[in-house]
Structure 1
Amino acid sequence: MSSKIKACVTAAAFMMTGVAFAQAPDAKPTRIRGDIVSASDDTITIHRRSGDTVTVDIKKETPVAALRNIGLADIKPGSFVGTAATTGTDGKLTATEVLVFPEALRGAGEGHYAYDLSPDSTMTNANVDQVVTGTSGHDLKLSYKGGSNTITVPEGVPVVALAPATHADLVAGKKIFVLAAPVKGSEFKGLQVVVEKDGVVPPM
């Protein structure tokens, strides 16, 4: 398989993962973050950051992705990114992580809205119009359908890109991010998965 074809196949496989990273406000699925306690052929048990333990049904067709670390220098004008941020008392947005999407995922979850990574966090999926280097990091001037904003990305904030993963990477001890649909009680149906691989933990 040529590298170009492989890249296209990989991007297609991650299409839903891009949406998982930043669901629009009217979406109903739950974001599950935590550590894999155990995994079988079609079920994983996750100890969530919130302290409870849940069971997630993972089908063979459920998209699974990983991430790889990149640098601030890899964010360039024209990049399409998804970034969680917090709002300071001065109203300015400061990134807590940034995902640089492959070109095939341009437009995934586009917009700016509330996010549940931390209290008062936001998510912006947008095009990078300009990158300005300052004393506190890089200022990303972003535009999306219906608006624009500027987000400061300090040095040390995770900047990642998508990487291949399979269901074989879903093993006990790995950190995981799952977009899931509630079934009943502590049971969920997995829709999209991002799993720790090669030491890179999902920052979303």
Structure 2
Amino acid sequence: MKLLNLLVASAALVTASAGFAADRQVHLRGEVSAVSATELTVTDRKGVKTTVKLPEQAQVLDVSRSTAAAIKENAYLGIAAAPAPQGKVRAMGVMVFPDAARGMNEGHFPWDMGDRSTMTNATVAKVSKKASATELEMHFGEKTQQVVLDNATVYGQFVPGKRELIVVGAKVLVIGAVGADGVTSANAVLVGRDGFLPPI
């Protein structure tokens, strides 16, 4: 896949607005229970099934597990996190971006993985090893955010993928939006390898 397609896919992955009103965004996390050339159905952890359109231009990302070893200074990360004391956040899921996606939708904004959860897309400026956790100083523009990594943090990484990855039983994160007709369409589908649910 060409670099341009990777950048488009990366933008779809990290965008919080995607040009749609906030109440029209959709993030679906779960398992593919049905799929065709034009749509897929995702069953979430509560058993709720949602069918979404799968347009030809929808991007597919191939997501695999990573480890804390990939977290180094100057890495560009997407971090889904929960609030922590002293203005810090605790990383629930970390996505390591390829260098071609550096800077995509840089910032710190609300996310939907729990009460007051956030997404931080930023560059690692400093890694500090602590007794029970690791702390990151993340830089985005002129701002910083302190992030705590612990034993519960899940790590992933991605490369461009193909539609053939979207099969029944695959774990996915669908990023999409609800149209004026009330129908949800996918902008990007993050497909986890070997039963891995994309961690953001």
Deviating more after overlay: 56-65 vs 121-130: 56-65
In structure 2, how many angstroms separate the alpha carbons of the residues matched to 1:20 and 1:139? 28
1:77 is matched with 73
Residue pair 2:170, 2:191 contacting (<8 A) in 1 also = yes
**TM-score when normalising by structure 2:** 0.87
Residue pair 1:14, 1:64 contacting (<8 A) in 2 also = no
Structure 1's consecutive aligned runs of 4 or more residues displaced over 6 angstroms after TM superposition are none
% of aligned pairs identical?
28
Deviating more after overlay: 56-65 vs 155-164: 155-164
2:92 is matched with 96
Deviations 1:113-158 (A, max 9, x none): 1111111101100011011111122211111024101101113411
**Pairwise mapping of residues 1-204 of structure 1 onto structure 2 (< 5 A)?**
9=2, 11-24=3-16, 27-28=20-21, 29-49=25-45, 51-183=47-179, 184-185=181-182, 187-204=183-200
Residue pair 1:83, 1:95 contacting (<8 A) in 2 also = yes
In structure 2, how many angstroms separate the alpha carbons of the residues matched to 1:27 and 1:14? 21
Q: What is the deviation of 1:82?
A: 0.7
Q: What is the deviation of 1:27?
A: 4.7
1:3 is matched with none
Structure 2: give runs of 5+ residues left out of the alignment: none
Letter in 2 for 1:64: V
Structure 1: give runs of 5+ residues left out of the alignment: 1-5
Q: What is the deviation of 1:24?
A: 3.5
**TM-score when normalising by structure 1:** 0.86
Please provide the CA RMSD for this pair: 2.1
Deviating more after overlay: 41-50 vs 169-178: 41-50
